[in-house]
Structure 1
């Protein structure tokens, strides 16, 4: 009989834990949803929803700097305006068939692993359906792939390290220490609608460097949910903003395709498969 109070206490504690977890799940789901990039048609545009305060995710607000790399910032404490931008590490595929922004019609294989088109692939598919870009545009990009494959940056460029003199104003180093500087090349394509960065970074798995593509979207062109320009000012907690791809900036969208094709041979090959799938499934043009 002495065990009954203990059992009752354990049961009560279990119920409290279950109730607590049940209360946390909606908040966790909302936080996960906020962090996602969402791509959907909106009238005659393809609209991209981007998180504004997720400073550790694929989309990060930055202050533009002369070196092009940008300076990370605290968006809720910074009056975001003309000198700021969102750096989006855009992708074009996923292993998950039910992932956000997936295009199940685009399936291809990379090194024996099945892939589905996503993000950039969805942008292209939606833009084609809306008439923002044409099949001729995609054919031209596909025709460029072979030439770009001859000069891909991941295979041609590298990160170098060299011994460099000390700044005399900083004083001498202790005996036995010398100064070395690492030089990391970066490649930019700038337009009035935004710019694209290709950066070389050490591989997270394996040896060597990998080329990463970032789409940089000026805060001056960020929109609110109703399609109006976002007013300058600090970000609200979990604020999202929007960017529209339409006929006015269709060339910028195609620049992203070109950036991946130039970044590495693997990206170039993937672009060929994705463009081929899109063209194969595109509606036939009327005579």
Structure 2
């Protein structure tokens, strides 16, 4: 069975004129994210959405039906989460984020969690998981956590790296082992502040204590990592020594396959040994 993994859409509200689609909102998938999933024999499918405030949303497919078609969800990185989404006051207009995307992804995340299907959040996705479970965010690390190491560099983008340490006994610790800190990419100026209910810290930045990964302790698989493992796929002079992203994706896909197989086994019993191919 080939797994079908949904990826939340990124939004571009005002695309450049050169793209040929002026005044048209774009929903898109960053290619290395798709490559990371498809390099492990799964299909990556972007999940577009209709804004709740659009008249077109009246006849859209129910979230449960969208979730039923897929075996797992990856939340992409991207623009900040709006502070209003987690009940905070905006400290700077530059950090206003995208409340439209927040609403859509929270609904998508809720659908997968309630269905017991695995979720992997990357960067913004990790922050969204924390917000979903009632946590809050630091809106800007440099100003609110002075003395922290640099976690974002707009000039170098995906070439900025720092160390993370895995919490002893955590799932990432078991997956990668302990010992020396691991090197990862870093492209974020926001991070976890108050930890969401039921979440545990899986990794942190050893030089400043910034949370770098969280996992939900309840049933199912819900993991968020603050770094970008999809950017670790092309080793070169600049990327040597980065944490291998393969084990993380394989662990996520194992959880997706196990959940799908359990469901098919249950359907087989109900239908006298005939396993239906439809996901649910």
TM-score by length of 2: 0.23
Structure with the bigger percentage of strand: 1
| More relative contact order, 1 or 2 (CA 8 Å, 6+ apart) | 1
TM-score by length of 1: 0.23
